[in-house]
Amino acid sequence: MSIPLSKTALMRLSPDEIKNRLSQKGVVHPSQIEIQPLTGDASTRRYFRLILDTRIASDDSNTLMAMQLDEPEQGEMDWLLIQDYLANLNLPVPKVYDYFKEDGILVLEDLGDITLEQRLQDAEPSQVDLWMDKAVDLIATLQSKAVIPKSPAFERRFDVEKLMWEFDFMLEHYAVGLLGNPPPEGLLKKLRAEMTSLCTRLEAITPCYCHRDYHSRNLMVRGDQLVLIDFQDARLGPPQYDLVSLLRDSYHPLPESTVRKKTERFLQKKEALENKPIDREEFLVGFDLMAIQRGLKAIGTFAYQKTVLGNARYEPCIAGTLPNVKHALSRRPELTKLKNALQEALPPLQNSADLL
């Protein structure tokens, strides 16, 4: 959510309505507000920067961020419940200034325009190393702190049913929708059997709290810290999940040497915080299984954006994700049947580049 969007991206409330409501709540008392539409993400939410003619005393800023939901929510909002949960654990999340429930608009702290992805672009190697350390450490901190089941995340998890739903979604929108290559019945049966076996192994891993979309576009840079955003889909899952999301990032590929180094850093940090040893080989097996499942899931999302929503912005990310899946499959000989079936169903997988 960083650059101005078309002026056709309209907010449900006028500047005067926003101004009056913020004044009534005592957040700030502006005499004028300018609303600037911003780019969003792959979701249906819209973002707007509110530029005020006075400063907010609590953080000495003259801007706020408005997040507009696709539709107002009737019940309690997961985003707010999870924000409150994480904030109470002293984890870095945006402040909430107001919630106009009937309009489906949240008024939030303005975190600026710099994502981790942008910070890493053209950065010196030492800076890349520093910021990746911060991102890895934050995952370990999140997992060690988020253990009390008082969040919607504890009511859902990455079980076989959910993981396989994501796999089927990929087949529908990538294999069929984008490639025009529907798997024949026999191949489809083989694919689903092998993938169900993989997902069963993932479900058996002791779960922990997962952000669920922990990548470089969902980490905002605020000063020398990272701040979590887009956490409303948090759920229980393998401890490898968020680490895979970060280190096998479709938006910012990393050298294999960096992936290995940061994985070990995460393990050491997690061991120190939780005072429990972690079996390296067992964890790395789970890392590869998770990289396969999550990589395929991401490809399905990118294809859906193109074929259903007509948004071509994410299609180039598919070519950057396929090598992650191919690499993880190649590292696990027991997955040869799955690898062969996937390459038959998804020809670009076989032809994708090798990781460096």
321 and 188 in a common domain: yes
200 and 323 in a common domain: yes
252 and 122 in a common domain: yes
Phi/psi for 190 (5° steps) reads -65, -45
130 and 63 in a common domain: no
> Is it the case that residue 321 has pLDDT exceeding 50?
yes
CATH label of the domain that carries residue 269: 3.90.1200.10
Distance CA 27, CA 97 (A): 7
pLDDT digits (tens, 9 = 90+) for 139-177: 999 999 999 999 999 999 999 999 999 999 999 999 999
204 and 140 in a common domain: yes
What value, to the nearest 5°, has the Cα angle with vertex 225 and ends 224 and 229?
A: 145
155 and 37 in a common domain: no
Phi/psi for 308 (5° steps) reads -100, -45
42 and 191 in a common domain: no
337 and 283 in a common domain: yes
pLDDT of residue 10: 66
135 and 201 in a common domain: yes
94 and 124 in a common domain: no
Please report which confidence band the pLDDT of residue 9 belongs to, taking 50, 70 and 90 as the band edges.
very low
CATH label of the domain that carries residue 79: 3.30.200.20
Secondary structure of 243-309 as H, E, C letters: HHHHHCCCCCCCCHHHHHHHHHHHHHHHHHHHCCCCCHHHHHHHHHHHHHHHHHHHHHHHHHHHHCC
Query: What is the average per-residue pLDDT within 2-7?
Result: 36
Query: What is the average per-residue pLDDT within 110-116?
Result: 95
Residue 6 lies in a domain: no
Q: Which of 46, 45, 32, 33 is nearest to 4 (CA)?
A: 46
Strand 208-210, strand 46-56: pairing: unpaired
128 and 80 in a common domain: no
Domain C-terminal end among 80, 109, 138: 109
Question: Total domain count for the chain?
Answer: 2
Distance CA 275, CA 291 (A): 26
Range of the domain at 340: 116-350
> Is it the case that residue 85 has pLDDT exceeding 50?
yes
Distance CA 41, CA 230 (A): 9
141 and 82 in a common domain: no
> Is it the case that residue 7 has pLDDT exceeding 50?
no
Distance CA 56, CA 157 (A): 39
Which range has highest mean pLDDT (7-21, 41-55, 199-213)?
A: 199-213
> Is it the case that residue 40 has pLDDT exceeding 70?
no
Domain C-terminal end among 109, 142, 169: 109
Strand 61-68, strand 46-56: pairing: antiparallel
Q: Which of 72, 62, 69, 65 is nearest to 38 (CA)?
A: 65
Domain C-terminal end among 92, 109, 126: 109
